[in-house]
Structure 1
Amino acid sequence: MISKVGQIMLYVNNQDEAAKFWTEKMGFSVISEEDNGQGMRWIQIAPSNEAATSIILHNKELIAKMAPELNLGTPSLMFFTENLDKLYNDLSNKNITVGEIVNMPSGRVFNFADSEENYFAVMEKNE
């Protein structure tokens, strides 16, 4: 039986720029960084060290060569926040592309783009 989602693979063109975006603009932390010494490098990031799920930043070009059968598209991720308006304003002030706040049956949502123009969504969710 599967007990939780452990890691999400995010294939990016520039790992260092992606890590900078997620840490400096989104407030994530680098949990670990690995390099096998043969060109395979990955960076594990998460909203906090205690997060149940983390994101692994992989080099898209290298993975495409190693495993051409993989779907390297950006996953459709939904993040949760307890204060949507504050996060929306913070991201806007950091010159991050944000979409309009939309009222959905499950709560208010907006999307944002990372430094490579991959889009992700955020929903207001009080835990």
Structure 2
Amino acid sequence: MITKIGQIMLYVTNQQEAVDFWTKKVGFIIVAEENGQGMRWIEIAPSKDAETSIVLHNKEVIAKMSPELNLSTPSLMFTTENLDKLYNDLANQRVTVGEIMEMPTGRVFNFADSEQNYFAVVEKSN
């Protein structure tokens, strides 16, 4: 039985740009980094104790190793307790953000990474 999602693979064109975006603009931390056998991957997460992390892989390297894989960007929905603060923090760092919308699940907005992949954030309180 599956009990949780451990890692999400995110295939990027420029790993260093992706690391900079997620750590410097979004506030994630680097959990682990491996560089061996011609392959580098960087594991990032919102915090050290996060249950789910994102692993940044080089899209070109993975395509050569496993051409059958779907390397499209997954549609991810993040949560925050303070949507307005996160929205303003990202906008102040010149991150492309969509307008805040009211949805049945709560207030939501989307943002784009440095490769113009869009992700969503919903406000939820604990």
TM-score over 0.5 for the pair: yes
**What residue is the counterpart of 2:27 in the other structure?**
27
Query: Partners of 2:20 and 2:38 in 1: how far apart?
Result: 20
Residue equivalent to 1:119: 118
Return the offset for 1:35. 1.1
Structure 1 unaligned blocks of 5 or more? none
Residue 41 (structure 2) aligns with: 42
Q: Secondary structure at the match of 2:24?
A: helix
TM-score (norm 2): 0.99
- CA positional deviation for 1:71: 0.5
**Structure 1 stretches of at least 4 aligned residues deviating more than 2 Å after TM superposition:** none
2:18 is the counterpart of 1:18: yes
Question: How much does 1:39 deviate?
Answer: 1.3
SS across alignment from 2:16: helix
Q: Distance in 2 between matches of 1:35 and 1:90?
A: 32
**Aligned mates of 1:82, 1:43 — CA distance in 2:** 26
Root mean square deviation of aligned Cα: 0.5
Partners of 1:86 and 1:59 lie apart in 2 by 31
The alpha carbon displacement at 1:104 in A equals: 0.5
Letter in 1 for 2:6: G
CA deviations over 1:40-83 (Å, ceiling 9, x no partner): 11000000000000000000001011101100000000000000
Instruction: Give deviations 1:79-108, integer Å, cap 9, x for gaps.
Output: 000000111011000000000111100100
User: When the two structures are superposed, what TM-score results if normalisation uses the length of structure 1?
Assistant: 0.98
